[in-house]
Each structure stands twice: as C-alpha cells, then as structure tokens.
Amino acid sequence: MEVINALGRRKAAIARVYLTAGTGVITINGRPLDSYFPSQLLQYVVKQPLMVTDNEGKYDLKVNLNGGGITGQAEALRLGIARAICKIDAETFRSTLKSNGFLTRDPRRVERKKPGRPGARKRFQFSKR
C-alpha cells in the first residue's frame, strides 16, 4: 500500500496526515501520540475515526501539526485522519464517517475585534450620568 496523505484544518491549526499500512503507531511531529496529547480526552478525539471504522491498529500515521491550540490541533487531526481513511475505500467508510460528522470541516473562527470596543461583542460600561 502506498502512502495516502490528507489535510485537516480547524481554526488556526493545520494537520498533514500521512497514512501507511502498519501496526497502529501514531507519530505527531516526531513524538508519540500520548506524549504530544497527554489528555485522554484529546487522544480519544484523535482516534475516533479509526475506532468508528474498525481500523485501529491497522495503519501507521505520521502527522505534521502546526498552528492553533491543543484542542484545535486535535480536531484538525481528526478531520485529516477521517479524510485519509475515506481515500482508502470511500464506499465502505464514507457513510459511517459522514454520519458521525468526521468529514465536516468546522467553519467557526474567532470573530475580529471591532474599533471603539474592548472586544468583538463586548461594550464599555454604560453610564447614564
């Protein structure tokens, strides 16, 4: 099996995923998954597409992650893994990945700060007198 690559994005995070046949080793920026994401919740988020499609332990993943925070990076990685799995066999895996919402890119971003205000929506305290 050749190397399959896919891209996942979330907020400012970008994940480039390279998927090959193997034993289930996930390497992120040269570090193992449990070292890069110490939180069990984020490790679960990353492994969700593999668990849903029963591909856990079948593929090795080499990932380049940059930008954003840890949650955004984990969700960008989830999208990248789901897209890579979909490239392997679309007719088998696409419906389950799509029904779980793993193929949808989350479009939400930080709203920009407006002039004359302390934040995007916040106003300075109103004084009647």
Give the pLDDT of residue 1: 72
Give this prediction's pTM. Answer: 0.89
Q: Classify domain 4-99 at the CATH topology level.
A: Ribosomal Protein S5; domain 2 (3.30.230)
Intervals of the chain under pLDDT 50 = none
How far is Cα 57 from Cα 38, in angstroms, rounded to an integer?
Answer: 20
Q: Which pLDDT score is estimated for 91?
A: 86
Residues 53-62: tens digit of each pLDDT: 998 889 999 9
